[in-house]
Amino acid sequence: MAGASLGAPPLSAARVPPPFQGSFGTKGALLAEEEAEKEERAKESKKGKKKKKKKSGGGEADNEAPGPSATADLQPPTPPPAPSPPPADAAAIAAADEALQQAVAAGSYEGLASALEAYSSLASPAVLAAARRARDKLKEARRRDSQRLRKAHGAAMGALKSLDTADSPSALRAGIAAARPHVGALPALAEEVSAAESKLGELSVAAAPAAAEAAVARPVEIALSDLTAATDGFAEGKLIGSGGFSHVYEASADLHLSLAAPPQLRHLPLVVKRAKSGQSGGLSRAELEVKLLKAVSHPHLLPLLGYCLSPDGVCLLSPLMRGGSLEARLRISDPDRAAQLRRLGMVEPPRPLTWRQRVRIACEATEALVYLHSKGIVHRDVKPDNILLDEELTAVLADTGFAKDQRPDASVRCRSTALYMTTGYLCPSITKGGEYSSKTDGYAIGITLLVCLTSRSEVQLTDRCEEEFDGLWTNIDASKIAEAAAGWPDLAARAVKDLAKAGDGQKSLCHDSLRNRCTLPEALTTLRGLLCGAQGGAGVEEAAPAPGDEAAAAAARTTGYEPSPLSVQVRGMRMGGDAQARIQDNMMLAFKTLMPRLDAAYASRSAAAPDSFEERINFWHRECGLPTELRSQLHSLRIWANAARHHDAARWRRDGPRSEGEASRLVAAVTETIGAIEG
């Protein structure tokens, strides 16, 4: 019997007290009889007490304290002591320890709590203590998770409210940014964010060009020797790509520029475009491009940061666009294009662009063209290879080497440069002796849209589709030629196809007749309407021009370009108009330019510097001797740049500078002090 009890279940199960184990003979019977006699005496004592109380009628005798003997009679019999558990054997302890350790490893609070309840009496003290500590940690983690989820749900509800109440593009943009992190906490929020993004696309037809200020780098002349050093002697390993007239090289991170070079160019990711040797007209094209880029500035134009016009090597210096070209992103299965993307740092092939991304990229390139046309400039070489993307797929129009003034005294006939254009994007009117114009640039955008739609070659694209489907272009179902990987909806595919080239009775970008071609501003409105679900721009409300929008009116008078009603409406929504947009753009650019200069100045401590801008500035002050006043100024500039980056009008009014003068003075002071640190 004793051996059987050692293998019994946990201590919660009934056990026989040790004095009785193996002793149910005479001794057990006597003890049982003695207990019965005690119970009988106790019953008789209680009966006698009740009779005495009844006879006295509740007098003083009832209030007298009972004597020692009476107290003893009234006390209930003392129960026998609780039985002690038998010692568990080693196998039971090991099994309990293993069960608790498995529960700890599983990481479930409920499972571990149940295991502790079942095995706490059998497990070894060390394992039991460890399991209890693990349970307490899991309980605390569950409490924190619960608080976090409640907080996330509250934030999601707040973000949803901000989307519902947004009354301007900046407020809508801020609401989207605030809502994205909380989509997981509130599934319904995902649909609201998608709808808000579409609405934002509708309200952002024309972005005001960013004006260049003194705080932001202007194109500067750089010695060929510096650019040679920056590219390791224009080494093959630095080559990113090649075009008909130039090679493009990635510059080293520190550029190896001489001290005479502008500090803001010393530590930026850059590329050097060098004209191929032996090319006639290379110097003149570079001079033209430098001249044009010095005169223009737009968020979707690739900026020129530096140049070298030496006869020994004509070079242009620009930011590195790590997203590659639109052409490369549309041809990711092409080995040459894939290799080009790998040279930009993409180890794995990127996913195919979605239809929305393709349309948005085309919109941004079109915005840049509309801006150039408003300045009287025709690009003349629009194609996906010249639309570059950053890591977030923001597009910039590049390679303005063939751009020309459109004004009467600067017009250029086709015979001078038509042979250098990319055939598939060249308007047929040029080959017939016509002149370049905004509509020939529009033709190139139309072909670009068809390439985005189909991912086919641009050469005779419509003719080849007619041969393949044995029918006229206008009768071909757009869904049959749309690239499946992009996920084109039928309506979107049809709208892009018709915008690029439609029937004779409808205006389009690639119409055979110049007179029946739509303008780029019209195309831009259509594309934006497409992104927000309003095909052809339907549903876009017209608004009167914003008061004081004289720049747009002047552009319309001098170039014939009139901003679309929606773009005028958007500009009117911005508090402060173009002046505020200019300040915000320059605060972001100034902060982005000045921080790398301090990184370079304190390069010896860069490994220990925190990633956060706020913490890094404080680190420089604490560890590197950054002047106290400069630290305060940098924090002000950081706060202004953050407020500008969030596109939140209320936040900008609260945290931004009081005036453009205050912003310019602070940037100038910071620039001067950093220059002194650099020596």
Annotated binding-site residue numbers for ATP:
273
Asked whether the beta carbons of 119 and 10 are under 8 A apart, the reply is yes
| Burial degree of 451 (CB within 10 A; 0-12, 13-18, 19+) | buried
Question: DSSP letters along 246-297, please?
Answer: EEEEEPPTTTT--TTS-GGGTTS-EEEEEEPTT-TTHHHHHHHHHHHHHH--
624: Cβ–Cβ under 8 A, 6 or more apart, which residues? 602, 605
Distance CA 36, CA 648 (A): 88
Distance CA 637, CA 641 (A): 6
Distance CA 646, CA 511 (A): 41
**70 Rama class: left (phi>0) / alpha (psi -120 to 50) / beta:** alpha
Asked whether the beta carbons of 523 and 442 are under 8 A apart, the reply is yes
Tell me the torsion sign for CA atoms 542, 544, 546, 549: positive
Distance of CA 448 to the CA centre of its chain: 27
Question: DSSP letters along 186-237, please?
Answer: -THHHHHHHHHHHHHHHT-S-PPPPPP-TTSPPPEE--HHHHHHHTTTT-GG
Binding residues, as ranges, are 273
Distance CA 617, CA 615 (A): 6
Asked whether the beta carbons of 95 and 66 are under 8 A apart, the reply is no
